[in-house]
Amino acid sequence: MTDAPATEPTGGEQPAARTVEEALAVLDRQWSRFRTLAFGYPAERMDEPLEKGWTRKQMLAHIAAWHESATERLARFLRTGRPEPLTTTVDARNAQVARVAIGRTSGEILHSLDATYGRLRRSVGQLTDEQLQTSDGWAAELIADNCYRHYAEHAPALAPPAAEQA
């Protein structure tokens, strides 16, 4: 993410937040950068394949799905006070999301990105600082891994097309 100051970590290097206020600030900053890339990418190129065999459209659906997974797990955590494990394997979840994305338009997926981010952000805002750090920072790490570290992992696939050809 080239607009980040040299002294500020990119999402991939970003440590997990220590407070809810910090988590929301990092989420909003990193989401804004990722969203700009996603919404700025030409719609007619969203079905081009990427390295792992996915298209950009499938990759974006994958981001939205992990937003949703994190939201659901945080909701259960807020109810029970206990970290919530995944209910499926990462590979199975990713494969299912990629299959479903094939039948969706790029516009639907972009809308889903915004909607799932909004729900996730609201869930993060319901946490207390203590909850964020309980169980060795389970919630803080979940948020980092499913959001800003995840954005950093996939942002290169959204580099402007002109930059890809240079």
pLDDT the model gives residue 5: 28
Q: State the pLDDT confidence band at 162, using cuts at 50, 70 and 90.
A: low
Instruction: Give yes or no for residue 3 having a pLDDT over 50.
Output: no
Count the domains in the chain.
1
Q: What is the mean pLDDT of residues 12-38?
A: 92
Query: Which pLDDT does position 11 carry in this prediction?
Result: 54
How large is the average pLDDT for residues 121-125? 98
- Domain contains 74: yes
Average pLDDT (82-108) is: 92
pLDDT > 70 fraction of the chain, expressed in percent and rounded: 90
pLDDT, tens digit, 9 for 90 and up, residues 60-76: 999 999 999 999 999 99
Domain assignment present for residue 96? The answer is yes
pLDDT, mean of residues 115-136: 97
Q: What is the pLDDT of residue 51?
A: 77
Answer whether residue 120 is part of any domain.
yes
In a domain, 95, yes or no: yes
Burial degree of 10 (CB within 10 A; 0-12, 13-18, 19+): middle
Residue 148 near residue 11, CB atoms below 8 Å? yes
10 occurs within a structural domain = no
Give pLDDT, residue 14.
Answer: 74
The string of pLDDT tens digits covering residues 25-37 is 999 999 999 999 9
Please report, for the domain that includes residue 78, its CATH number.
Answer: 1.20.120.450
Range of the domain at 131: 20-43+52-160
Asked whether residue 93 is domain-assigned, the answer is yes
Backbone angles phi, psi at 16, to 5 degrees: -65, 145
More confident residue, 43 or 163: 43
> Within a domain: residue 134?
yes
Residue 32 inside a domain? The answer is yes
Mean of all residue pLDDT scores within the chain: 89
28-59: burial string, b at 16+ Cβ within 10 Å, e else:
ebbbebbeebbeebeeeebeeeeeeebbbbbb
Q: How high is the pLDDT of residue 150?
A: 94
Please determine, for residue 165, whether its predicted confidence score (pLDDT) is greater than 60. no
